Amino acid sequence: GKQLMTARKTGFVLLFVITLLGIGVTVVLNSWRKTPYGTLHTNAALVLKLIEFRQMDIFANNATPTQIREASASGRSILQKALTPVHQIQNTTFPGPAGPVPIRLYIPDQRNELPVVIYYHGGGWVIGSLDSHDNICRSLANKASAIVVSVGYRLAPENPFPAAIDDAYAAFIWVSKNISTYNGNPDKIAVAGDSAGGNLAAAVSLMNRDRAGPGLSAQILIYPATDLSSLNTESYHQFEDGYFLTKNYIENFRSMYLPDPSDWKKELASPLLANNLSELPPALVLTAEFDPLRDEGEAFAEKLKASGTSARFIRYKGMIHGFAGMDRLFDESEDAIEDIAGFLKEVFR
Residue 44 C-beta-side C-alpha neighbours within 13 Å: 29
What is the 3 state secondary structure string of the chain?
CHHHHHHHHHHHHHHHHHHHHHHHHHHHHHHHHEECCEECCHHHHHHHHHHHHHCCCCCHHHCCHHHHHHHHHHCHHHHCCCCCCCCEEEEEEEEEECEEEEEEEEECCCCCCEEEEEEECCCCCCCCCCCCCHHHHHHHHHHHCCEEEEECCCCCCCCCCCHHHHHHHHHHHHHHHHHHHHCEEEEEEEEEEECHHHHHHHHHHHHHHHCCCCCCCEEEEECCCCCCCCCCCHHHHHHCCCCCCCHHHHHHHHHHHCCCHHHCCCCCCCHHHCCCCCCCCCEEEEEEEECCCHHHHHHHHHHHHHCCCCEEEEEEEEEECCHHHCCCCCCHHHHHHHHHHHHHHHHCC
195 catalytic, yes or no? Answer: yes
291 catalytic, yes or no? Answer: yes
The residue from 195, 217, 235, 270 that is catalytic is: 195
Q: Which of 137, 121, 77, 87 is nearest to 337 (CA)?
A: 137
Whether 290 and 246 have beta carbons less than 8 Å apart is answered as no
Q: How far apart are CA 274 and CA 287, in angstroms?
A: 20
Whether 196 and 122 have beta carbons less than 8 Å apart is answered as yes
What is the 3 state secondary structure string of 259-287?
CCHHHCCCCCCCHHHCCCCCCCCCEEEEE
87 catalytic, yes or no? Answer: no
The residue from 167, 321, 327, 333 that is catalytic is: 321
The residue from 291, 295, 327, 333 that is catalytic is: 291
Catalytic site residues? 195, 291, 321
